[in-house]
Structure 1
């Protein structure tokens, strides 16, 4: 693997984490997967970056089990990247962003859009270099290769399950509602930004 591409992949991985942190700061809801992460974080009192990394590790282990090649070096690199990913989210969410407050709803919406664009660019560039992978997307790809269902079917199914689980926990334990307008904005905006950044 090209050292420059590895370095850039790690950098864009962290940029993606920074973008996610901005969407959390906006407090108008978050993307499908992050709605579950944020809800679990509030429920368990574990930091959201830690929850995000942990759930991604579960998908990473699933990928390892499904992968016929199983190159352990690649999975070790991914594991290290996930640790940095979760730590970056925690750093901004709990130590840097609490230093300022947003009162305007318009500013919150603009911040969420900015965060989604930054996260999308980071994700798209990582996918372009093909050094690091995102566990959920890789998991869905492996499933689509082994069944008659498409990648899109599995990816949207995971999004739907995350939203349903987040809503169930929210109403059962009276937690903060994370499935809001930000979830819709992310659904409409994130994929096109990733596609553009991947070019």
Structure 2
């Protein structure tokens, strides 16, 4: 049973990274959170995956101070996970998808929506199994439990703050604006998909594993 959870968590974690890479590659704007990361990446010339890892580490530090019954080994494992997650984004974005061009605007929208759903689904499933955790979502869950507000409330707050930071960087340093139609689509879809998938085990996955038996 434990092996099953580790395998599924890892696969969903990689799936989320792939989905994020697709949304960035679509070039129709990016999600609220990623718009901040892309803007910082453009400003500093550091790869997006690396920036994503660094920002996630800040949220992980926040989690460390908020959580009462913290487990040090779990936090160390999450640090390793974050490095791997950022590396996967870089691998897809700067290598596997580097020569992948989308010439049609409508196809770009479709690719973005698919990427957002994939990223949200992967994130939600990883949260469900609780092995490889996402610091932002973990932080929002901790805050929701502590202050009796919904997970969505805090997750959307992170989105809004990310948009403001992204716009500030783009305007002040005269960089491209990454808040576009894709951002609106992601704002609507991402947290919705995460909420729908983080609480209930995927029926399809459950059937597949039931057929194979317990690992």
Fold match (TM-score > 0.5): yes
CA contact (8 A) 2:159 2:187 kept: no
Give the TM-score, by structure 2 length.
Answer: 0.86
Quick check: 1:171 aligned with 2:189?
Answer: no
Equivalent in the alignment of 1:52:
52
Matched, 1:37 2:26: no
| Structure 1 contact 126–133 (Cα < 8 Å) conserved | yes
Is 2:1 aligned against 1:6?
A: no
Residue 87 of structure 1 aligns to a residue whose secondary structure is: helix
Q: Are 1:84 and 2:80 an aligned pair?
A: no
* 180-189 or 134-143, which deviates more: 134-143
Is residue 104 of structure 2 the alignment partner of residue 110 of structure 1? no
- 2:85 and 2:105 map into 1 onto residues whose CA distance is 28
CA distance in 1, matches of 2:117, 2:2: 27
Judge conservation of contact 1:10–1:81 (CA < 8 Å) in 2.
no
Change (3 A) 1:148 1:8: closer
RMSD value over aligned CA atoms? 1.6
Q: Can you give the 5+ residue segments of structure 2 that lack an aligned partner in the other structure?
A: 201-215
Aligned-partner Cα distance in 1 for 2:154–2:190: 17
Q: List alignment gaps of at least 5 residues for structure 1.
A: none
Shift of 1:149: 4.9
Bigger mean CA offset, 15-24 vs 59-68: 59-68
Runs of at least 4 residues off by over 4 Å: none
Offset at residue 191 of structure 1 (A): 2.7
Please tell me whether the aligned partners of residues 116 and 186 of structure 1 are also in contact (alpha carbons under 8 angstroms): yes
Q: Name the CA distance, whole Å, in 1 between partners of 2:69 and 2:187.
A: 33
Within-5 A mapping of 1:112-191? 112-147=112-147, 149-191=149-191
Normalized against structure 1, the TM-score is what? 0.93
